[in-house]
Structure 1
Amino acid sequence: MTIQISRRGIAAAALATAALLRGTREAGAAQGAAPVGPANDAGMMEAVRLSRQRRAPDAVVPLWPGIPPGGEGLTVKDLVIDHGPAGGPSDRTAESVASPSLAFFRSTSPGPRGTVLVIPGGGYVDVWFDKEGYDVARWLSGSGLHAAVLTYRLPAAGWKGGPDTPLQDAQRAMRLLRQNAREWSVDGNRIGVLGFSAGGHLAASLITRHDAPVYAPVDGADSLPAAPQLGGLAYPVISMQDGLTHPGSKQQLLGAHPTPEQVTAYSPDQNVRTGTCPTFLVHAADDGAVPVGNSLAMFQALRRQDVAAEMHVFESGGHGFALRSIEGRSAEPWPDLYRRWLKRHGFA
């Protein structure tokens, strides 16, 4: 099934649902937040249960007030395809993105909350916003946090920003969360990021290049910082070095013949500095798509700069496990481990 979504449709959705962001969600408030304790099967099953709820976002908000940066003259259209089985859970991908957006999932707990910007993967070819986005946001919002899923533009679609195009959207998303902190009950001092696969590369780029001037300011939101307070990277693409990188992501981001300078500039492990935010990493040793060496390289780079970092490498899990594909694999505990880490850092 193919669905086309217009920019006007996204804007209308934002206007129609904005009121939901001013109050608590009565339907979900009775659920409460799951207790945080030792990593165990109960914690994993709770994560899976929350992720499988067919709850829609509380709002879908366009990132940009008009044409996104570098889009003048482009004919890119929004295109979404659902790969899920008939009658089963949706498994949608944004195959083409003209109107990048934030899908906001409000916490089931009242008051200003910590918030996680969730960045799905897709090899910079598409954006898997159900499995690595909405599922994760539903779980986080049922665990006492707000979550916002980023649907970002793809770098090979002709945008003038080229490889910086996704980072433009990630920076803008962080700034919008801070600009709307009061209305959305977001604690502006507790905003983190969690990225998966190529979305992990984008999250790592945000962690290390949050202050890079990749677009000209368009309104008051762009005077606000884009730095996350915590980073989360799940089976991330990190290095652009041949032999370690994910070749498809590298080609989509940098083209067929990048310069050595580009390879270094777009490898987040080469850009870690003192003051980079504490970071949680998770990877499976049997990942056949993105070698575990990517997470190892990022972890080592963080530690060289004395940045607090926690890493979990599991024997089995493959690639793209997120929350749907962890049962029966050694990667099962990762959601509970991540939630406990967030709690230790004051987020939950």
Structure 2
Amino acid sequence: MQKQELSYEDTKFTLDTYWLDPISDFDEPLDHPLAIICPGGAFKFHTDRESQPIAMKFNAEGIHALVLRYQLIDDEHTVYPLALQELATTLNWLKAQSKSHQIDLSKILLVGFSAGGHVVADFNSIMLNPDERKKIFPEELEVQPAANILGYSVIDMTLGWPREEEWTMKVSSDIYYWQAQEHLTKDGKPTFMWQTVTDGTVPVMNSIIYAQKMDFLGIPYELHLFGSGDHGLSLATYVTQNPNNEANLNVYDAKWWELCVNWLKLQKILPKL
């Protein structure tokens, strides 16, 4: 893993990069899809449980991965709109990296968990609408995502998370950014979603309302709701288990990864075997 520092205007942010090395005995160079991962952490921090382990799972499927250390709440900034501007900057930066790192720019994935999922959902809803994007990001979006993956994501910040409106105001004082589903248009990209119905942190209705809006707009989606399991499962295996926390393990919910890989094949991001 290597750190890459980028900036939007006068604000710097960091990417953790997990590049696949070229295979030297191939006759021709092979371009790979790429996943940009936005980990959760309640906009307070970026959890490592949804960072390197997820990136390396993508690598194992032949997909480059970046972990975006997007804007968090601090004394100087709210999360929005800066997190969206950082994600747009990252996408545009990929264009200059496509040759040296063999990136297939037509197969870029945005991946979000929990609070990071809100960043991805807001991007899908707001930033892919050219008229709305120009209000906060006047540059052209030179590289567009092909699809999204959302895990137990916050979609609507009025549905139970955050529990205090004071924290919601710290995320953004502009209610425009609170409800990702309200701004979704037909410009949105296909999306894979998964969550547990027993999620005690982010109400499952978040995933349901985003799927409903996608269904209404005719945007392809796949939604998996598992019958048990806590919030923040990540891979739901021992790889991302916090020591001595059995709630991080769920053999049934861990199937989300296999289902997601199958969906990526259906979307022609990965080849069908």
TM-score normalised per structure 2: 0.83
Aligned to 2:112: 195
CA–CA distance in structure 2, aligned partners of residues 176 and 252 of structure 1 = 31
Give 2:44's aligned amino acid: V
Assess, with a 3 A threshold, how the Cα gap between structure 1 residues 299 and 257 changes in structure 2: closer, same or farther. closer
Is the aligned partner of 1:177 residue 2:94? Answer: yes
For 1:152, which of 52, 70, 93 is the aligned residue?
A: 70
What count of residue pairs does the alignment treat as equivalent? 250
> Does 2:198 correspond to 1:316?
no
Contact 2:122 2:177 in 1 (8 A): no
1:333 equivalent in alignment to 2:255: yes
Alpha carbons of 1:253 and 1:341: their partners in 2 closer, same or farther (altered >3 Å)? same
Shift of 1:180: 1.4
Aligned residue number for residue 276 of structure 1: 188
TM-score, with structure 1 as normaliser? 0.66
1:301 aligns with 2:213: yes
- Give the distance between the partners of 2:172 and 2:37, measured in 1 at CA: 30
Partner of 1:101: 14
Distance (whole Å) between structure 2 residues aligned to residue 112 and residue 285 of structure 1 = 38
| Alpha-carbon separation, structure 1, partners of 2:164 and 2:66 | 23
- Cα 1:214–1:124 shift into 2, 3 Å: farther
Contact 1:132 1:322 in 2 (8 A): yes
After superposition, give the CA deviation of every residue in 1:133-192 in whole Å (9 maximum; x if it has no partner): 111001110111111110112144313x76211111111111112231111111111101
Listed as ranges, the gaps of 5+ residues in structure 1 are 1-56, 72-98
Distance 1:250-1:296 versus aligned 2 partners, 3 A rule: farther
Mapped to 1, the partners of 2:166 and 2:80 lie a distance apart of 10
Q: How far apart are residue 205 of structure 1 and its match?
A: 1.2
Q: Kindly state the Cα deviation for residue 248 of structure 1 after the two structures are TM-superposed.
A: 5.5
- Residue pair 1:121, 1:197 contacting (<8 A) in 2 also: yes
Q: In structure 2, what is the equivalent of residue 123 of structure 1?
A: 42
Measured in 2, the distance between the counterparts of 1:257 and 1:158 equals 12
Larger mean CA deviation between 270-279 and 224-233 belongs to: 224-233
1:182 match: secondary structure? coil
Q: CA deviation at 1:266?
A: 2.7
Which stretch of structure 1 is more off in the superposition, 192-201 or 204-213?
204-213
Once the two structures are TM-superposed, the CA of residue 216 in structure 1 deviates from its matched residue by: 5.8
AA at the equivalent of 1:266: W
- In structure 2, the partner of 1:19 is none
Distance in 1 (alpha carbons) for counterparts of 2:164 and 2:224: 23
Is contact 2:84-2:119 (8 Å) kept?
yes
Partner residue of 2:3 out of 52, 60, 75: 60
Secondary structure at the counterpart of residue 171 of structure 1 = helix
Deviation at 1:203, TM superposition (A): 0.7
Letter in 1 for 2:189: C
CA RMSD of aligned residues (A): 2.4
Please say if 1:114 is aligned against 2:37.
no
Unaligned runs of 5+ in 2: 24-29, 242-247
Shift of 1:304: 0.8
Residues of 2 paired with 1:200 and 1:62: CA distance? Answer: 22
